[in-house]
Amino acid sequence: MAAAVKSLRLRSGAKINLGLAVGGRRPDGYHELVTLYQTIDLWDELSIARSPRRGVRVSCSDRSVPRDGTNLVARAHAALDAATGRLPGVAVHIEKRIPAGGGLGGGSGNAAAALVGLDRMFGLQLGIARLAAIGASLGSDVPLFLAGGLSLGLGRGERVVPLPDLARRRWVVLANPGQHVATPEVFARLARARRRGLTPPDTAGTIFALLLERGMGGESLSALENDLALPARELVFGYDRLVTQLRDCGAELAVLSGSGATVFGLFGSGRVARAAARSVVADRVDVVRTVSRRDYWKRLLPVGEPRDGPEGPAA
Ligand code: C5P
């Protein structure tokens, strides 16, 4: 296996869950999900450089992100190494702009970008389906970043069905309370509430109804919900206040993303979204846009061209 490229820079994306239905707990401990993923215009940047040392060295601009073998980029390299026999060593630097542990899938996006980048760098040509299967072994949210745009997530979230893009791009106000919420804890709290007799809303039904309505030209997202909002609001500081503020500012939908702690509001106009961002009180507030599948891939793939150019024909 000869490397065609010595170094590569890629962007790595973020997502929101426009809707998220949590079903039963499976024997493997995961919950059945039905979710609508949407990629957004917020990016980390990955610089991958070939290294004479075996394995992978990870550095990151955010000190709260682990740099050891548990980092999803390191795990992506190890998984590709196992799948291909022997992968050359690399050093990867992650420039973080997506808040870590915020329900925006930043770490999963890093893993997906690393899979795409390493595949390209070493001319592996594994194809998206194989990369998505490897990605699924790293985390439930990794395969969605190998689809991009709007997609339906099934199974534990790793079975991804790409959907036609939203008819209108939306503006998204991301309000991050600066907290790390542990995903297993949020799922466990929901399961406890259900055992105590909580009747779950028919969130999956709402998602499927929306998908059918889209086929007939409708696209109102306002009825969507996130089942994890119920347990997360006990953990996310000021959750109800954030949702109310975003709704009062005219959000079409205001809800938790993933298992939190980020709360987002969807807006049809940039002016209204920016005004909402000014009035929302949170640790960090970003205004971004939804990203279509085509734009997602245009933005993800190498930033500039490979810096060292082709090294010769790939073996
Ligand atoms: O797959 P991932 O690493 O993203 O999942 C993190 C944790 O979230 C799992 O260990 C599990 O506790 C919880 N989870 C779940 N059901 C899912 C996805 C995640 O219970 N469908």
pLDDT in tens, 55-87: 999 999 999 999 999 999 999 999 999 999 889
Q: Can you tell me the mean pLDDT for 163-190? A: 95
Provide, rounded to the nearest whole percent, the portion of the chain with pLDDT above 90: 86
Residue 134, both tokens: 């490897």
Q: Is the pLDDT of residue 308 over 70?
A: no
Q: Out of 15, 41, 44, 165, which one is annotated catalytic?
A: 15
The one-letter code for the residue type at 32 is E
Exposed/middle/buried for residue 269 (C-beta within 10 Å: 0-12, 13-18, 19+): exposed
Cβ–Cβ under 8 Å, residues 255 and 239: no
Q: Is the pLDDT of residue 287 over 60?
A: yes
Residue nearest to atom 20 of ligand 1 (CA): 30
Q: Is the pLDDT of residue 312 over 70?
A: no
Q: How confident is the model at residue 177 (pLDDT cuts 50, 70, 90)?
A: very high
Separation CA 57–CA 76 (nearest Å): 12
Residue 310, both tokens: 């082709």
Residue nearest to atom 10 of ligand 1 (CA): 184
Cβ–Cβ under 8 Å, residues 18 and 38: yes
Q: What is the pLDDT of residue 315?
A: 24
Q: Out of 141, 165, 227, 286, which one is annotated catalytic?
A: 141
Q: Can you tell me the mean pLDDT for 76-102? A: 94
Q: Can you tell me the mean pLDDT for 12-37? A: 96
For the chain, give the mean pLDDT: 92
Cβ atoms within 10 Å, residue 268: 13
**Ligand 1 pocket residue status of 35, Cβ below 6 Å:** no
Q: Is 15 marked active-site?
A: yes
**Ligand 1 pocket residue status of 302, Cβ below 6 Å:** no
Dihedral sign for Cα atoms in the order 191, 188, 246, 16: negative
Residue nearest to atom 9 of ligand 1 (CA): 184
Q: What is the pLDDT of residue 199?
A: 86
Summarised one tens digit per residue, pLDDT across range 193-249 is 999 998 889 999 999 999 999 888 888 999 999 999 999 999 998 999 999 999 999
Task: Report cis status (omega within 30 of 0) of the bond before 261.
Answer: yes
**Ligand 1 pocket residue status of 75, Cβ below 6 Å:** no
Ligand 1 nearest-atom number relative to CA 33: 21
Which phi and psi angles does 253 have, rounded to 5°? Answer: -150, 135
- The gap from C-alpha 263 to its chain's centroid, in whole angstroms, comes to 14
* pTM to 2 decimal places: 0.93
Q: What is the pLDDT of residue 304?
A: 63
Count of helix runs (H) and strand runs (E) in the chain: 9, 10
Q: What is the pLDDT of residue 310?
A: 36
Separation CA 117–CA 138 (nearest Å): 16
Q: How many residues does the chain have?
A: 315
Q: What is the pLDDT of residue 307?
A: 44
